[in-house]
Chains A and B, each alone.
Chain A
Amino acid sequence: MPAADELAADPLEDAYYDYLLRLGDDALILGQRLSEWCGHAPSVEVDLSLANMALDLIGQATHILNNANNGDGDELAFKRDVLDFRNCLLVEQPNGDFARTIVRQLLYSTWQHLLFQQLAESRDPFLSAIAAKAVKEVAYHRELASEWTVRLGDGTDESAARMRDALDWCWRFVPELFEVDETLEEMIARQTVPDPRSFEREYRAAIGDVLAEAKLEMPADQRPILGGRRGHHSEHLGHLLAAMQYLPRTYPDAVW
């Protein structure tokens, strides 16, 4: 992990490193959240599919964080504190009920899918390779979340009400996915990553289509809650990290 002063010395490296952390941390934190379901899902089949997604995401996180830190992704995953995590706020949201887990997945996987489709064409060989590999997994996550959204939205009164609550909870975190800050401006200028605003319209249309099929209304826009990409997270992330990092932090000399 480069020290802060080394980072400041090379703004180009800084942006690239920061971008890798964003992608890697999104995958890690969402994978960690999904793995909390293990053994507690609504059915064995659902348990399997949630674990499957978690496994895909932990795999993506491992590749990306390893690449960001000379092969030592563990140091990034287990030794940073909240201020240095760069994931978006959406993925760190607690699982809530199954409806909230599904809405979180729909909103994130749809975005990740659109992003990775373009990223697979990146001039950066690492980004294009990881995106080309992961895009197939993410397409499946998006499909699974879309199917469950339709089932729950167009299921019973109770399931529809829970989906409306879940959308209401998650919707304020969507604008962060399309926020373009200095890091992203730099990366876009270098033509290595897409501008997320270029697929925002497509994203909204895609979510709108799934919600329409689910007989759910598109939520009204809420005041955006931002900050994850700069290390200003929700209160939930610290607790997630406390559990996730406890062994390497308690036994700093140990190799597992």
Chain B
Amino acid sequence: MYTTELSKNVQPIETPEDPALLEAFEARVAADEFIEPKDWMPEAYRKTLVRQISQHAHSEIVGMLPEGNWITRAPSLRRKAILLAKVQDEAGHGLYLYCAAETLGTSREEMIEALHSGKAKYSTIFNYPTLTWADIGAIGWLVDGAAIMNQVPLQRTSYGPYARAMVRVCKEESFHQRQGYEIMIALANGTAAQKRMAQDALNRWWWPSLMMFGPPDDNSPNTERSMRWRIKRETNDELRQKFVDITKPQADFLGLTVPDPELKWNDEKGGHDFGEVDWDEFYAVVRGEGPVAKERITARREAWENNTWVREAAAAHAAKKQAREAA
């Protein structure tokens, strides 16, 4: 799963930097070198990365909830095992993304605290409910499909630990997308009730999936600098276009209709024209007003707070053990 820059009005972080160091840094990045944790970096670069990587990590963890909702109800043993493995992968992604963010000097506890207080964001997509089994197919197909599109360029992002995490994440995401599409194929070839479920899922997930690429380029304040710093390698609108072009034929193959009457092939531009995303809805969801935003964050807070005693016990035990070994 992936999240792009979600805050509309992020103030550019400007701190006075040593011009010589800054120039050397810019030159390294421009030459496509990786920046490593111990290297000098501008404060704004560090902060932008912490925000982006932690948002990404939070998205993986919150993203376990809509799919976890269906593990206990998966319709066959095979589907149950695949979904379990998939959600387990998401937890793994969250873990190594938190680790990548920690290399920038922010602890996991701080990041989790920021998530629970609402200060940190996660992908808007997870604030929509999974109502039927077809939603598990649609999430794999569309949401993981969008995630791959976002993440493939990030394998060449300038921050070494993030780029390396993305290499591993991308491999697993392509498996996730295939399993989602395979669910959709089974439904599309199934009974009338299954086809209805599949079409309904596409209807509900299409537009939120397009929102995953973030605000339009003319309203994406940090895009230009992030592109220069190779934190981002393609613009939101470029990626969105690519996603529509790849996904439309896949929907055709399933015999499903994309819920956009304006969607049509444009020979001249060599891509599809498509309707305008409802940006008011997008910003509302970013503000935390998504249909199940309260449910998601409550579930995360409860998992954390109800199990404080477990983490305390583990820490107390480790301390006792260390004391005994030292004695």
Q: Which residues of A contact B (CB under 8 A)?
A: 28, 32, 35-36, 38-48, 51-52, 54-55, 58-59, 61-62, 65, 73-74, 77-78, 97-98, 150-152, 154-156, 158-159, 162, 243-244, 246-248, 251, 253-256
Decide if B216 is an interface residue (CB 8 Å cutoff). no
Q: With A38-B87, A74-B78, A248-B76 given, name 15 new contacts (CB 8 A).
A: A32-B72, A38-B84, A39-B61, A39-B87, A39-B299, A39-B303, A42-B311, A44-B61, A44-B95, A48-B95, A62-B81, A159-B312, A254-B190, A255-B186, A256-B79
Decide if B243 is an interface residue (CB 8 Å cutoff). no
**Smallest CB separation, B293 vs chain A (Å):** 16
**Smallest CB separation, A53 vs chain B (Å):** 10
- The digit string for B70-98, where 1 denotes a CB below 8 A from any CB of A, is 01111111111100110110011011001
**Smallest CB separation, B115 vs chain A (Å):** 12
Decide if B24 is an interface residue (CB 8 Å cutoff). no
Contact A247 B87 (CB under 8 A): no
Q: Which residue of B lies closest to A160 (CB)?
A: B313
A72 vs B132: C-alpha distance when bound (angstroms): 24
Contact A40 B77 (CB under 8 A): no
**Smallest CB separation, B316 vs chain A (Å):** 5
A256 vs B209: C-alpha distance when bound (angstroms): 24
Decide if B278 is an interface residue (CB 8 Å cutoff). no
Query: With a CB–CB cut-off of 8 A, which chain B residues contact A48?
Result: 88, 91-92, 95
**Smallest CB separation, B104 vs chain A (Å):** 18
The interface size bin for chain B is: 35 or more
Decide if B64 is an interface residue (CB 8 Å cutoff). yes
Contact B88 A52 (CB under 8 A): yes
Contact A256 B76 (CB under 8 A): yes
Contact A58 B80 (CB under 8 A): yes
**Smallest CB separation, B194 vs chain A (Å):** 5
Q: List 28 A-B contacts (CB under 8 A).
A: A35-B84, A39-B61, A40-B299, A40-B302, A40-B303, A44-B61, A44-B95, A44-B98, A46-B310, A48-B95, A52-B88, A55-B81, A55-B84, A58-B84, A73-B77, A78-B76, A97-B306, A98-B307, A152-B313, A155-B317, A156-B312, A158-B309, A159-B313, A159-B316, A253-B191, A254-B75, A255-B186, A255-B190
Q: Which residue of A lies closest to B318 (CB)?
A: A151
The secondary-structure label for the interface of chain B is helix
Query: With a CB–CB cut-off of 8 A, which chain B residues contact A248?
Result: 75-76
Decide if B65 is an interface residue (CB 8 Å cutoff). yes
A233 vs B284: C-alpha distance when bound (angstroms): 48
A42 vs B71: C-alpha distance when bound (angstroms): 19
With A45-B95, A155-B313, A156-B312 given, is the CB distance from A59 to B87 under 8 Å?
no
Contact B193 A254 (CB under 8 A): yes
Query: With a CB–CB cut-off of 8 A, which chain A residues contact B193?
Result: 251, 254
A38 vs B79: C-alpha distance when bound (angstroms): 16
With A98-B310, A151-B314 given, is the CB distance from A38 to B68 under 8 Å?
yes
Query: With a CB–CB cut-off of 8 A, which chain A residues contact B95?
Result: 44-45, 48
Q: Which of A35, A42, A55 contacts B307 (CB 8 A)?
A: A42
Q: Which of A73, A150, A244, A256 contacts B317 (CB 8 A)?
A: A150
Decide if B162 is an interface residue (CB 8 Å cutoff). no
Contact B73 A244 (CB under 8 A): yes
Query: With a CB–CB cut-off of 8 A, which chain B residues contact A35?
Result: 71-72, 80, 84
A78 vs B79: C-alpha distance when bound (angstroms): 13
**Smallest CB separation, B86 vs chain A (Å):** 10
A37 vs B61: C-alpha distance when bound (angstroms): 13
Q: Which residue of A lies closest to B186 (CB)?
A: A256
A204 vs B314: C-alpha distance when bound (angstroms): 25
Query: With a CB–CB cut-off of 8 A, which chain A residues contact B303?
Result: 39-42
Query: With a CB–CB cut-off of 8 A, which chain B residues contact A42?
Result: 303, 307, 310-311
Q: Which residue of A lies closest to B311 (CB)?
A: A42
A24 vs B84: C-alpha distance when bound (angstroms): 18
Q: Could you tell me which residues of chain B, from 32 to 81, have a CB within 8 Å of some CB in chain A?
A: 61, 64-65, 68, 71-81
